Amino acid sequence: MTDLYQVDAFADKLFEGNPAAVVQFDNWPDDSLLQSIATENNLAETAYLVANGAKWELRWFTPSFEVALCGHATLAAAHVLYKHLGYQGESITFVTRLSGELIVERKNDGSLAMEFPAIAIRKHDKLSEVAAALGSTPKSIWVGDYSPDQFDIVAVFDSAEEVAALTPNESQFGALGSRGVIATAAAKDFDFVSRYFAPAFGIPEDPVTGSAHCLLTPYWSGQLNKTELRARQISARSGTLGCRLLGDRVELTGRAIDYMKGSLSL
């Protein structure tokens, strides 16, 4: 039997943040099995772990296909290693196929800090198409690349209220060619808020998206002239992230809570 853990990531309490499944294998099975498990789980991401010496190989799958980078499932994987799989080190090095090595550090207060690449964004020219997908026109749009064939669009609005009120048209997202669209704005109680829509990846709205903050942190750091920021993703579940810009890297801090442990009948 193979254990499966379901964890709420970027959550301060149960039923908050973003659920992710975590599965450890001794060796990599066929990709078709990894995809089938993720499809069956029907969560935004399922994270897979295989030990590689002192490091851990890590991959992420949505219900539809493999992704280049996923923050909340990385946080969930680190949580499972520390709480359930007996890992004792102060930091974990994950080896990924498309995003290099990712380091997660356990803090004294029990939170987990993840170091990811900072992703620069550039101006984008599909304003009318993005407006049609989101159902509202942002003041500017940008694009950032996770890999040669995966990118997100960033749509910047004037207020958090505009972001909260968005009612996207899922049928319009396919024409954008992106992994998803991040809607964001400066806020009063946090430095910025966001929502993330990726219906083309089988995710109408992601509850909390760590990878999106690899783009948002450098953007808002430049806009607000500060390197440490507090962010809130204002989905129905919502979640809080600490964000720190470290040159060409981004540190994202959050907590994770167990929801379920089960066994796969493979």
Residues 177 and 80 in one domain: no
pLDDT tens track for 57-66: 999 999 988 9
Check whether residue 64 and residue 80 sit in a common domain. yes
- Asked if 179 and 211 sit in the same domain, the reply is yes
- Residues 14-57 have pLDDT tens digits of 999 999 999 999 999 999 999 999 999 999 899 999 999 999 99
Residues 29 and 11 placed together within one structural domain of the fold: yes
Query: In this predicted model, what pLDDT tens digit does every residue of 83-113 receive, in sequence order?
Result: 999 999 999 999 999 889 999 999 988 899 9
Domain with 139, as residue range(s), is 122-251
Give catalytic status of residue 161 as yes or no. Answer: no
What is the number of structural domains in the chain?
Answer: 2
Q: Which of 16, 45, 66, 205 is catalytic?
A: 45
Q: Are 165 and 232 within one domain? A: yes
The per-residue pLDDT for 66 is 94
Q: What is the CATH number of the domain that holds 215?
A: 3.10.310.10
Backbone angles phi, psi at 30, to 5 degrees: -60, 145
Give the pTM: 0.86
Q: Are residues 165 and 199 in the same domain?
A: yes
In degrees, to the nearest 5, what angle opens at C-alpha 145 toward C-alphas 54 and 221? 85
- Looking at the structure, do residues 154 and 79 belong to the same domain, yes or no? no
Whether pLDDT at 201 is above 80: no
Helices (H), the chain: 31-41, 71-83, 127-134, 160-164, 213-224
3-state helix/strand/coil string of 105-148 = EECCCCCEEEEEECCCCEECCCHHHHHHHHCCCCCEEEEEEEEC
Do 185 and 133 share a structural domain?
yes
